[in-house]
Amino acid sequence: MRENPKRHPEVAAATEGSQERDSSATVSPQNDGKVRWIRKDLLSLEELSKEEIELILKTAESFKEISTRDVKKVPALRGKTVANLFFEPSTRTRTSFEVAAKRLSADIINFSSAGSSTSKGESLTDTAKNIEAMNVDTIVMRHPSSGSAEYLARSIRAGVINAGDGIHEHPTQGLLDIFTMRERKKKIEGLKVCLVGDILHSRVARSNIWGLTKLGAKVRVCGPPTLIPAKIEELGVEVFYDVDEAVKDQDVLNILRIQLERQKGAFFPSIREYAAEYGISVERMKKAKKDVIIMHPGPINRGVELAAEVADGAQSVILEQVTNGVAVRMAVLFHTTMVER
Ligand code: CP
């Protein structure tokens, strides 16, 4: 196996199947100053310390190289089983977790609410307990209700990774966004990041805000007043309503989708007016820094929050986010699944 100088020692031991692997490495906190992962679940970035976030990012850096090999597989989670439990549609997150689990040699089960017994009235806990009874180690769950991942984590012994719970958080999206910003801009501390769009209904915005502010970034949010949550300044962000002002001097623009499926009223007059007032167009990009990077978690509504020319332009790192998502999810699956229960 090729030696990777960036490889984290704990990951190297696990991924190379070394007999010398310290079995306590990811388990218990010891008083030696080293950060060890001790959570069976990843529910939010709000609950993580700066050090825990950095540990995931460092592990993801080590894992990224695996996806560039001819044989994209290591035995780190051989014998473990991961279940994807998705109660909402997903393209990127679900596939990314599946690819990540397979690259770590875990077995993966895909479960979606369509065609399952949830349509016959089975509860979330009963569904999860039945999946757990098949000795699944980790459940990756997306669900429309905020707090559902935490509820499930308390109900079962298996690990739970939140793949998006209502408007609450989408922690692995936050982590992959931060990973991509750091890879491109070589720092997070002092980085100027502007989140533009439907902040009110965005779990991605909340995870970005928690993660970025913990690592010392300067975060601003921008959108129509009706789509900015009350008291969001208390999370340590600046609020802008004028996008032409908001994008000035920023290192990163993370553009968020208008979540029509979660909106229970008219938050702006029309999609056309939203695009004109807040959409990131080629013209609007002239107000931003020359080296600004454009991010978007997907799915993109081209021509609404983001012009196609900008989404596909030289400053866009949207597909790099997708690539990095696999490495970040490998890191999250590795740490949470290897914890002793
Ligand atoms: N970014 C994101 O969560 O995309 P999906 O809805 O396709 O998973």
Q: Which residues contact 265 (CB under 8 A, 6 or more apart)?
A: none
pLDDT band of residue 340 (cuts 50, 70, 90) is confident
Q: What band does 264 get if pLDDT is binned at 50, 70 and 90? A: low
Superfamily of domain 171-317 in the CATH hierarchy: Aspartate/ornithine carbamoyltransferase (3.40.50.1370)
Question: Per residue, what are the HEC states of the chain?
Answer: CCCCCCCCHHHHHHHCCCCCCCCCCCCCCCCCCCCCCCCCCECCCCCCCHHHHHHHHHHHHHHHHHHHCCCCCCCCCCCCEEEEEECCCCCHHHHHHHHHHHHCCCEEEEEECCCCHHHHCCCHHHHHHHHHCCCCCEEEEEECCCCHHHHHHHHCCCEEEEEEECCCECHHHHHHHHHHHHHHHCCCCCCEEEEECCCCCCHHHHHHHHHHHHCCCEEEEECCHHHCCCCHHHHCCEEECCHHHHCCCCCEEEECCCCHHHCCCCCCCCHHHHHHHHCECHHHHCCCCCCCEEECCCCCCECCCECHHHHCCCCECHHHHHHHHHHHHHHHHHHHHHCCC
Read off the pLDDT of residues 276-317 as tens digits, 9 standing for 90 and up: 999 999 999 999 999 999 999 999 999 999 999 999 999 999
pLDDT at 3 over 60: no
User: What's the pLDDT score for residue 341?
Assistant: 80
Q: What percent of the chain has pLDDT over 70?
A: 88
> In this predicted model, what pLDDT tens digit does every residue of 112-157 receive, in sequence order?
887 777 778 889 989 889 999 999 999 999 999 999 999 999 999 9
Q: Does domain 9-169+323-338 have CATH number 3.40.50.1370?
A: yes
At 268, the pLDDT band (50, 70, 90 cuts) reads confident
* Beta-carbon count within 10 A of 268 CB: 18
User: Of 94 and 4, which is predicted with more confidence?
Assistant: 94
Pocket around ligand 1: residues whose beta carbon is below 6 Å from it? 90-93, 164, 170, 173, 297-299
Nearest CA to ligand 1 atom 6: 90
Which residue's CA is the nearest one to ligand 1's atom 3?
93
Distances (CA, A) of 24 to 6, 58, 304: 22, 19, 50
Asked if 9-169+323-338 and 171-317 have one fold, the answer is yes
Buried b (16+ CB within 10 A) or exposed e, 25-42: bbeeeeeeeeebbeebbb
Report d(CA 278, CA 299) in Å as an integer: 17
Separation of 311 CA from ligand 1 center, angstroms? 16
Please identify, by atom number, the ligand 1 atom nearest to the C-alpha of residue 142: 8
Q: Relative to the CA of 88, which ligand 1 atom is closest?
A: 6
Q: So where are the chain's domains?
A: 9-169+323-338, 171-317
Q: Which residue has the tokens 């949207």?
A: 318
> What Å distances lie between residue 51 and 39, 145, 148, 233, 263, CA to CA?
13, 29, 26, 24, 35
Our mutation pick for probing the ligand 1 site, out of 84, 85, 86, 93, counting the most ligand atoms within 8 A of Cβ, is 93
Residue whose CA is at the smallest distance from ligand 1 atom 5: 90
Rg (CA), the chain: 20
State the pLDDT at residue 262.
Answer: 65
Mean pLDDT within 10-27: 39
The pTM of this model reads 0.90
On the 0-12 / 13-18 / 19+ scale of CB atoms within 10 A, 105 is middle
Alpha-carbon distance of 282 to 241, in angstroms, equals 19
The 10s digit of each residue's pLDDT in 63-86 is 999 999 999 999 999 999 999 999
Ligand 1: which atom is nearest the Cα of residue 93? Answer: 8
Task: For residue 265, name the pLDDT band (cuts at 50, 70, 90).
Answer: low
CA of 31 to the centre of ligand 1 (A): 39
Determine the pLDDT at residue 270. Answer: 87
